[in-house]
Structure 1
C-alpha cells in the first residue's frame, strides 16, 4: 500500500516540515509502523532503536518548529549497517559468535555525522558474517530477502540496507563497501549507491580498500547523505579534507564526454544477456546524449581474482581467530570453510598476493584512464536465490569482479538501476577518476532521468514455500 508520506520524495517531506503540516515525529511513527508490517518478510533489521529514534525525531521537530534545521537530512529516518558503531547499539558484524558483545560506546564517523546533521537513525541493518559474503545470509540474522521477490537475494554485504530502502523504510542508508558491498545490494534491489573515492567518507577502522557509502532510492537521496558524510575525521588517517566547492546537484551533460563501456574483464565466464541488454541501453542513452561511447578492450589476460580472494581469506581468517575458540563454530560454515586456508598462508605469500593485486589494480586504472567515465555492470547475472551464499559458495565474493577492482583503484563508482529482467532490477555502474565523486553522481543523475522504465517500488509479500500456490 502506498503511504502518502513515506513514499514521497525527501524534498517533499522537508517542504511539509517547513510548512508545519508534518513533523519528524509523524514520519517516524509511520516508519516504525512500516517496519512492523514489512520487516517480517524481508528480515532486514539487526536492531530497531525505537527510543533513540524517538528522541532524535522530537529534537528535530523542535528545530523545524523554530526554523533551524541542521541539514537536509534533519528529521528524515535513515539506517546504518550493523558494522557501523553507534553509542548504545549492538555491533555484531553479522556473526552469531558476536551475539553477546557489549553495545558500542562510541559513534563511528558515519554515525557521528548523521547525528550532527539531525538525521533520525531508526536502527541497524543486517549483513553477512564479517562482511565477507556478497549475499544476504548471516549466521546471526538468517536470510535477508529482496522486496522485489523475497525468494531472491539482496546481495551483500549491506544486505539489510538494500532491503530496507527497496521496501520504503528510511530515505537513505549508510552501508560499507570492500568489494562492492553498497553497489551490489543496489544492483539487486533497484537502488542508487556510491562507493566513494577512498578517504572521501571517513570510517573506522581506517582502510585503503573499504569505504562507508551512501545508499538511497534516488541520486538526490544519495547526494544528501554524501554531503553529510564527507570531510576529514582524525580517527581515519586516510580521510580527505572537505571539498572546496559547494556540492553541485544538476545532472552532468554527457555532451563531448568519452565513455568507456566495460563489457568483460577478459577472464570471467561472461555477462548474462539480460544484463548486457540493460548496459547497452544505458550506453545508447549516453551516445544519444552526445557522448563518445566505445567498448573497452578486455582488461586482464590472466585471471586476477585468486590473489585478491586470498587477501580476503586472510582478512577473514584473522577475524575468525580473534573469536574465542569455543565460539568459532557459530560462524557461518561458508565463511569458515572459505577462509580456513587463509590461516595457512605465509607472510611472504601475503606480500606476493598484495603485489599481484596492486599490478592488477594498475591494469584497471590504466584501462580507465583513456576515458572520462566508465560504464560497467554491477553483477554479471540477474541475481540468485535468497538462501545462496553467492554464485559459487566456495568463493562468496567471487562474483564481484566488476565492483571489487574499483576498491583497489580507489575510484568512485555509483550504482543505478537502469532496467528490469523478469521483474527483478538490473543495475549498472558509473565509474570516474579519483576525487570525481560529485561528477560521478551527477552523470548518474543524468542517466536516472533517461531510465527507460518507471520505478514502482514493491510492497514485500512473503515468499511462497516450495510447492505453495
Structure 2
C-alpha cells in the first residue's frame, strides 16, 4: 500500500524522478476527502498553503536541491499547535468560531523551513485532558483499524491520520502520554522527547511536543528537524551533538522491564506478551535484562489527577459564558470541578507530592540504559469513552505520565498484532538520550511481528 511508504522511500523516488511532492499531496488530499468523514481525524486544511509548498518542493527536487528529508512530505500538526491561518480550538466547542492564527509557533516555522507540506491540523479531545478522541468541537475521532474503537489521545487525530494515510508524518503534544497513547492505539510510532528538547511555548516542565510517524526512522527524521532551542521557550535545551547516540548495540546494555507500577490498572496478557517479545529479543542479543520492582508502594495518582484537574479548571473558567451549554464536554467539567474547593496550599502540597513521586520513579529506573514497558494496560477501548475510568480520564496513563514528570525520552511502537490490532511497547531511557532511545526503538521495530496492511476504514483501495 503506497500510503505506508517511509519518508526516506519518498525522497528516493523523487530523487530518481519517479513522482513528485505535488502528486503525493494530491494522493493525500484524495484520501482525506474519502476517509476523513469516517474517522474524523482532520480539524482544518490549508489547501492553498499546501499547494504552494508542494509546487516549491517539486522545483527543488527536480533541480536536485531538496532542503532535506522532509522536503515535500505531507505533514499535519495538532489543533493545539499555533499555525498562521488556521484556528487554535483546543478541541473545544467553545472555540469553534475561532479566527485563524496570526503567527506560526516554533514547530510550524521549523517544518516550513525544512520544506514540509503542512496539510492542516488534526483533531483532539477537549483541553487535551483525556487520552481519547472525544471532542465537543469535532465529535468522536475513530481508530482506522476498527472504527468502534478509540484512537487514543490527546493527539487523537494525528494517530488516526497516520494510520489511514492522511499524512506521512505528524506532530502532536504530550502531557501524560498524548503522542505515545494514540501511537499505541493506531499502530504507529511516537516520541515524547526529553522535556525542552523541542521548543513549544509556553514553556512547560511536563508538556512536550512530539514527532509521530509510521516508522521509527520517520520519527527520527522529524525529530532532527524539530529539536533545538528557541527564545520563545526559555526551558528549551541547547542543540544536540550531531550523531551522538545514533547507534544501538544491545550487548552489555542494562535493560529494565517495567510491567507493574504498584498501582492502577494491570496490563492485559496481550500487552505483556508484546513487552516480553521485546525483552526476549534484547536478551538474546546480549543485553542484561532485569525486572524492575514496582516503583510505588502507595498510589501516587490522586495528586497528579488533581494537578491536571486544576489545569483544566483554570482554562474552563477562562472561557466564561463560552464554556457553558456544551462548550466543554460536561464529563470533563465534572471531573475538573472536583478541585474547585482546593486551597493554594492544597495545590502546592499536590505539586510537592508529585515531585516526590517523580523522584521515586526516576530512582527505581536508575542504572538502566533502556527501560521497556507497556504504553497503556490495554490494546483498545470504545471510541465513545474518555478512558478506562469514566470518572478520571487520565487514570490509565500511568506507564506514560511519569516519564513526563521525570523529563525522560520515551518512544511508543507497535510490537505485536493480536487479532489484527496493535499491541505497543514503550522504550525509554535517561534524560538527553533521545537519539539512543530512537535507535533502540528502531532495533526493536525490526524484530516486531510483521505489520498487517495499513487500514482503509471505508473499504476502498488506495
CA distance in 2 between partners of 1:247 and 1:219 (Å): 17
Structure 1 Cα separation of the partners of residues 396 and 9 of structure 2: 38
The answer as to 2:407 corresponding to 1:403 is: no
Q: Is the 8 A contact 1:275 1:382 kept in 2?
A: yes
Report what 1:245 is aligned to. 242
Tell whether 2:442 aligns with 1:448: no
Partner of 1:305: 301
Distance across 2 between alignment mates of 1:419 and 1:274: 8
Distance (Å, rounded) in 2 between the aligned partners of 1:223 and 1:116: 17
Q: Secondary structure at the match of 2:37?
A: helix
For residues 365 and 244 of structure 2, the distance between their equivalents in structure 1, rounded to whole angstroms, comes to 25
Instruction: Provide Cα deviations, 1:172-207, integer angstroms capped at 9, x if missing partner.
Output: 100000000000001101111000000000001110
Deviation track 1:66-113 (CA, whole Å, cap 9, x = no partner) reads 222112100000100000011001110000001112211111111111
Deviation at 1:326, TM superposition (A): 4.5
- Contact 1:376-1:428 at 8 Å conserved across structures: yes
State the 1:51 CA deviation: 1.0
Offset, 1:229: 0.2
TM-score (norm 2): 0.97
| Among candidates 36, 39, 47, match of residue 36 of structure 2 | 39
Find the counterpart in structure 2 of residue 328 from structure 1. Answer: 324
Residue in 1 that maps onto 2:167: 170
Query: Is the alpha carbon distance of 1:324 and 1:269 closer, same or farther for their aligned partners in structure 2, counting shifts above 3 Å?
Result: closer
Q: For 1:15 and 1:336, how far apart are their aligned partners in 2? A: 49
> Which residue does 1:287 correspond to in 2?
283
Question: Could you tell me how far apart the structure 1 residues matched to 2:172 and 2:374 are?
Answer: 20
Structure 1 residue 324, shift from structure 2 partner: 2.5
1:430 aligns with 2:421: no
Q: Is the 8 A contact 2:420 2:452 kept in 1?
A: no
Q: Does 1:420 find its partner at 2:417?
A: yes
Q: Which residue of 2 aligns with 1:273?
A: 269
Aligned to 2:378: 381
Offset of residue 39 of structure 1: 0.8
Q: Tell me by how many angstroms 1:48 deviates.
A: 1.4
Aligned match of 2:204: 207
Paired residues of 2:264 and 2:396 also in contact (CA < 8 A): no
Of 113, 118, 122 in structure 2, the residue corresponding to residue 121 of structure 1 is: 118
TM-score, length basis structure 1: 0.96
SS of the residue 1:294 aligns to: strand
> Which residue in 2 is equivalent to 1:107?
104
Contact 2:265 2:396 in 1 (8 A): no
What CA distance in whole angstroms lies between the structure 1 residues aligned with 2:265 and 2:75?
38
Unaligned runs of 5+ in 2: none
Contact 1:320–1:328 under 8 Å retained in 2: no
Q: What is the match of residue 74 of structure 2?
A: 77
The aligned counterpart of 1:315 is 311
Aligned length: 458
Given that 1:318 and 1:343 are in contact with CA atoms closer than 8 Å, whether structure 2 keeps it comes out as: no
The change in CA–CA distance for 1:370 and 1:247 in structure 2 (over 3 A counts) is closer
Corresponding position of 2:354: 357
The one of 11, 17, 20 equivalent to 1:14 is 11
Q: Residue 227 of structure 1 contacts residue 247 of structure 1 at CA under 8 Å; is this kept in 2?
A: no
Matched, 1:30 2:27: yes
Structure 2 Cα separation of the partners of residues 456 and 22 of structure 1: 22
Aligned partners of 2:417 and 2:451 also within 8 Å? no
**Deviation digits for residues 273-330 of structure 1 (CA, Å, limit 9, x no counterpart):** 1111111111111111111111111100000000000000000000001103243331
Q: For the residues of structure 1 that align with 2:379 and 2:222, how far apart are their CA atoms?
A: 28
Listed one character per residue, the Cα deviations across residues 378-412 of structure 1 (whole Å, up to 9, x for unaligned) are 00012100111111121011100000000000000
Work out the CA distance in 2 between the residues paired with 1:153 and 1:354: 31
Q: Could you tell me which residue of structure 1 aligns to residue 143 of structure 2?
A: 146
SS at match of 1:429: strand
Report the CA distance between 1:248 and its aligned residue: 6.1
Q: Distance in 1 between matches of 2:108 and 2:400?
A: 25
Query: SS where residue 149 of structure 1 aligns?
Result: coil
Q: Given the alignment of the two structures, is residue 340 of structure 1 paired with residue 358 of structure 2, yes or no?
A: no
Q: Is the 8 A contact 2:50 2:117 kept in 1?
A: yes
8 Å contact kept, 1:150–1:461 = no
Mind listing any 5+ residue stretches in structure 1 that lack a counterpart? 463-469
C-alpha root-mean-square deviation of aligned residues, in Å? 1.2
d(CA) in 2 for partners of 1:150 and 1:79?
21
SS in 2 for 1:342: coil
CA distance in 2, matches of 1:369, 1:319: 36
Question: 2: CA distance between counterparts of 1:322 and 1:97?
Answer: 11
What CA distance in whole angstroms lies between the structure 1 residues aligned with 2:184 and 2:57? 32
